[in-house]
């Protein structure tokens, strides 16, 4: 360590010791003096020191701080609310690398209705203002807002011209001639009659469909009683058309409050947060926001919500979040001030609101899947993986192997592959273990790797990196296979799963989770990658896919084995006929559903044998012999137990 870095570390330790027990904002700077993260805290001392306390922060982010953190600065304020405001200003000013960067998105569109005017009109605006007018939305796209305006203009007949045109026009426009506007610019339209249309528009945009339809029906009956049959017929047609339009809108909740629902989806450092707009119990739109950061979700969500509403976005009566944000009460206070009436920030636990949060999360995942990493981003992830693990080459092609068995029987293995972090399913393979029977994962791994490397060496088809599911024991077994075959051009690592660990002196508390660990040949201690890093995610996704592929194969074998063992008891069904039945039907369910004629169609089986098989499958269950259902369910239970193990 250089004298300069030693001095910087000493200064940081001094600042940590002198941190105040007061609310405020902290700025983390890199060694070049650039601000890389801005955070807020109720207690600066406790919050900032938690990043450097091993027992309270298991996110492996300390490793990242050790590499990039050069200085720390704090600003003390009076309240949590002031900390929220200052955090937002500092993020906009410094644009830190690890903070949420909320871009000015021009797709946020609202409808404005100034009910103070004698003849109000609907207009499209980018941002709502506190000017006394009613705002509806936001709408996620120009198409959705155009469709809404089309319905309003067709059925409610509000003027569309500007105030200047309203005051200066001398002849009615085309919209009046086609029955879309009463033309208050020219004709003396009673204000109370026009006001009825304004109130109907407000009900429609608020989603209060039942109240809207009831009001229109009352107006239709009133017009008919006055013998104004043309007006009554117009209202009748309007009710029918609105009924059809409202049927297409999905009911999201029985609560009629205005709600913004936030859902989050994350893979490693890449995060998508989706805002779902619910108005009057109906979903009116949504918007996705994407960014990258290794900081935890709760901090990022709180920072995002703070910036989102500070950017003059429409503030609803309720904000639903997937997890409790820091400074929740202060956030509610800020939003209440922005809206001018009470705003609730909620983390729902049950009911319709929980389902809305889940729906927002599904939209976040869908939006995330539509945004793949760019070529440059993938190259950077793989290059960092090479450097962090000390690999000999950049791992563009990776393969992962996993062993699975049923209590020591039917040992199988799986091979899955990826190219540039994306699944390469053409290279997926399944293996039956041939050299032994029993519960020996190390021997099984040695056999599978030896077979794979021997074939790959002969065909000139070897990956850049092989990942083993397991710890140091599995790694050494695989390394022995490398030596036996004489392969030294492929990198080899193993990935050990996170597990529960008990911390000394904390027996009364829930056990903590150890991080995912990477073992490398020739290195005693495992490598712990940042737990939210894209490098670790590339490895864990490959490992989890290998586990899934192996378990799926094992369950399939269990079902076939249960079926095969029972077919052995059918008179006249030997090995060849049993194999033909298994190949033709594939599962017990399909075979039991088959008729005698269907079974007779199998090669090598005639009507007589088919009748025997059918009668055996549908015979009354015996208490002395296990029937097929028992065999199948016990086999599946064994597979489930093996998966849990």
Instruction: Bin 91: left if φ > 0, else alpha if -120 < ψ < 50, else beta.
Output: alpha
For position 63, which CATH number holds? 3.40.1440.10
Residues 154, 225 share a domain:
yes
- Average of pLDDT values for 95-106? 65
- φ, ψ dihedrals at 616, nearest 5°: -65, -40
> Same structural domain for residues 120 and 181?
yes
Q: For residue 567, what is the domain's CATH number?
A: 1.10.150.20
Q: Provide the β-strand partners of residue 267.
A: 270
pLDDT digits (tens, 9 = 90+) for 109-137: 778 888 888 888 888 887 677 677 887 76
Same domain for 531 and 461 = yes
Of 305, 340, 369, which marks where a domain is finished?
Answer: 369
pLDDT exceeds 60 at position 449: yes
Most confident of the ranges 330-334, 364-368, 448-452: 448-452
CATH number of the domain enclosing 522: 3.30.420.340
Q: Which of 427, 344, 330 is nearest to 80 (CA)?
A: 330
Per-residue pLDDT for 274 more than 60? yes
Q: Are residues 382 and 362 in the same domain?
A: no
Among 532, 632, 631, smallest CA distance to 295 is for: 532
Q: What is the overall mean pLDDT for the chain?
A: 77
The answer, yes or no, to whether residue 249 has pLDDT greater than 60, is: no
Question: How far, in Å, CA of 90 to CA of 310, rounded?
Answer: 13
Domain contains 254: no
Provide the pLDDT confidence category of residue 564 given band limits of 50, 70 and 90.
low
The model's pLDDT over 458-507, given as tens digits with 9 standing for 90+, comes to: 988 899 999 999 899 999 999 999 999 999 899 999 998 877 655 555 44
With respect to residue 253, please indicate whether it lies within any of the assigned structural domains. Answer: no
Whether omega for the bond prior to residue 425 falls within 30 degrees of 0, making it cis, is no
Number of continuous H segments (helices) and E segments (strands) in the chain: 22, 20
| 433 and 526 together in one domain | yes
Which of 545, 547, 565, 544 shows the shortest CA–CA distance to 555? 547
- pLDDT for position 438: 66
pLDDT at 57: 45
Structure confidence at residue 37 (pLDDT): 85
Does some domain include residue 195? yes
Quick check: is 284 in a domain? Answer: yes
CA pseudo-torsion sign 476, 477, 481, 483: positive
Rounded to whole angstroms, the maximal C-alpha distance in the chain is 100
Burial category of 335 from C-beta neighbours within 10 Å (exposed 0-12, middle 13-18, buried 19 and up): buried
* The last residue of a domain, from among 94, 119, 140: 94
CA distance 641 to 439: 14
Dist. CA 229–CA 220, nearest whole Å? 9
State pLDDT tens for residues 373-408: 666 778 888 999 999 999 999 999 999 999 887 655
The pLDDT value recorded for residue 139 is 67
The domain total for the chain is: 5
Residues 394 and 527 in one domain: yes
Within-domain flag for 390: yes
Pair 442, 479 in one domain:
yes
pLDDT for res 38 = 87
Question: Do 383 and 365 belong together in one domain?
Answer: no
Domain stop point among 369, 402, 425: 369
In a domain? residue 104: no
Q: What is the pLDDT of residue 118?
A: 84
Q: Do residues 166 and 184 touch, judged by C-beta distance below 8 A?
A: yes
Rg (CA), the chain: 34
pLDDT greater than 60 at residue 510: no
Which of 313-317, 372-376, 437-441, 493-497 shows the lowest mean pLDDT across its residues?
Answer: 372-376
Q: Say whether both 543 and 407 belong to one domain.
A: yes
pLDDT value of residue 450: 93
Task: Check whether residue 528 and residue 561 sit in a common domain.
Answer: no
Tell me how far apart the alpha carbons of residues 106 and 115 are, in angstroms, rounded to a whole number: 26
Q: Which domain holds residue 115?
A: 109-247
Give the distance from CA 597 to its chain's centroid: 49
Inform me whether the pLDDT recorded for 253 exceeds 60.
Answer: no
Asked if residue 424 belongs to a domain, the reply is yes
Coil vs helix vs strand at 377: helix
Q: Are 390 and 465 in contact (CB under 8 A)?
A: no
For 253-288, give the DSSP string. -S--S-EEEEEEEEETTEEEEEEEEEETTEEEEEEE
Are 538 and 559 contained in the same domain?
no
The pLDDT assigned to 454 comes to 94
Instruction: Tell me: pLDDT of 66 over 70.
Output: no
The string of DSSP codes covering 137-195 is EEESSHHHHHHHHHHHHHHT--B-S-HHHHHH--S--HHHHTTS---TTTS---HHHHH
Q: What percent of the chain has pLDDT above 90?
A: 13
| 113 and 230 assigned to the same domain | yes
The number of CA neighbours under 13 Å toward the Cβ of 552 is 12
Q: What is the DSSP pairing of strand 465-469 with strand 491-496?
A: parallel
- Indicate whether 241 belongs to any domain: yes
């Amino acid at each position: 360590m250089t004298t300069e870095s030693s001095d910087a570390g000493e200064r940081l330790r001094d600042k940590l010791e002198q941190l105040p027990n007061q609310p405020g904002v902290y700025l983390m700077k890199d060694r070049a003096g650039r601000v890389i993260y801005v955070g807020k805290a109720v207690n600066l001392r406790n919050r900032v020191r938690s990043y450097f306390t091993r027992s309270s922060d298991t996110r492996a982010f300390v490793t990242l701080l050790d590499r990039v953190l050069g200085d720390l600065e704090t600003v003390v304020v009076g309240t949590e609310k002031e900390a929220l405001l200052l955090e937002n200003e500092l993020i906009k000013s410094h644009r830190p690398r690890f903070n949420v960067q909320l871009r000015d998105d021009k797709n946020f569109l609202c409808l404005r209705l100034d009910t103070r005017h004698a003849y109000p009109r609907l207009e499209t605006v980018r941002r709502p203002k506190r000017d006394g007018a009613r705002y509806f939305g936001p709408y996620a796209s120009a198409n959705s807002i155009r469709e809404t305006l089309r319905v309003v203009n067709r059925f409610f007949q509000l003027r569309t011209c500007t105030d200047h045109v309203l005051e200066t026009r001398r002849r009615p426009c085309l919209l009046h001639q086609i029955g879309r506007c009463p033309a208050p610019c020219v004709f003396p339209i009673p204000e109370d009659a026009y006001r009825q249309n304004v109130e109907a528009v407000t009900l429609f945009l608020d989603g209060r469909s039942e109240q809207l339809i009831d009001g229109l029906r009352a107006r239709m009956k009133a017009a008919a009683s006055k013998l104004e049959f043309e007006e009554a017929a117009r209202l009748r047609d309007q009710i029918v058309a609105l009924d059809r339009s409202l049927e297409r809108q999905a009911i999201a909740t029985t609560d009629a409050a205005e709600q913004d629902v936030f859902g989050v989806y994350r893979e490693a450092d890449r995060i998508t947060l989706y805002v779902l707009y619910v108005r009057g119990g109906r979903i009116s739109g949504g918007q996705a926001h994407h960014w990258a950061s290794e900081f935890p979700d709760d901090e990022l969500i709180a920072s995002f919500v703070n910036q989102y509403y500070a950017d003059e976005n429409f503030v609803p009566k309720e904000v639903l979040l997937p997890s409790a944000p820091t400074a929740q009460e202060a956030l509610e206070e800020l939003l209440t001030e922005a809206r001018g009436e009470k705003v609730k920030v909620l983390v729902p636990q049950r009911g319709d609101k929980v389902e809305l949060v889940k729906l927002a999360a599904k939209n976040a995942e869908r939006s995330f899947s539509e945004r793949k990493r760019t070529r440059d981003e993938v190259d950077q992830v793989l290059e960092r993986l090479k450097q962090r693990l000390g690999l000999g080459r950049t791992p563009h092609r990776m393969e992962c192997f996993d062993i699975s068995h049923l209590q020591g029987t039917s040992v199988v293995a799986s091979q899955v592959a990826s190219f540039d972090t994306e699944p390469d399913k053409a290279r997926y393979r399944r293996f039956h273990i041939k050299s032994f029977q029993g519960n020996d994962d190390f021997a099984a791994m040695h056999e599978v790797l030896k077979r794979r490397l021997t074939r790959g060496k002969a065909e000139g088809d070897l990956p850049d990196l092989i990942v083993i599911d397991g710890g140091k024991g599995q790694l050494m077994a695989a390394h022995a296979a490398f030596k036996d075959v004489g392969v030294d051009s492929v990198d080899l690592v193993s990935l050990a799963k996170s597990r529960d660990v008990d911390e000394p002196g904390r027996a009364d508390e829930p056990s903590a989770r150890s991080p995912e660990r990477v073992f490398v040949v020739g290195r005693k201690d495992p490598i712990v990658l940042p737990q939210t890093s894209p490098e670790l995610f590339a490895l864990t996704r490959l490992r989890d896919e290998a586990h899934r592929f192996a378990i799926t194969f094992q369950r399939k074998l269990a079902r076939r084995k249960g079926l095969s063992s029972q077919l052995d008891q059918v008179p006249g069904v030997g090995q060849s006929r049993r194999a033909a039945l298994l190949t033709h039907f594939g599962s017990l369910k399909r075979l039991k559903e088959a008729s005698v004629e269907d079974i007779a169609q199998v090669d090598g089986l005639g009507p007589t044998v088919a009748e025997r098989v059918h009668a055996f499958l549908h015979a009354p269950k015996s208490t002395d012999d296990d029937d097929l259902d028992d065999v199948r369910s016990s086999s599946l239970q064994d597979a489930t137990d093996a998966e849990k193990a």
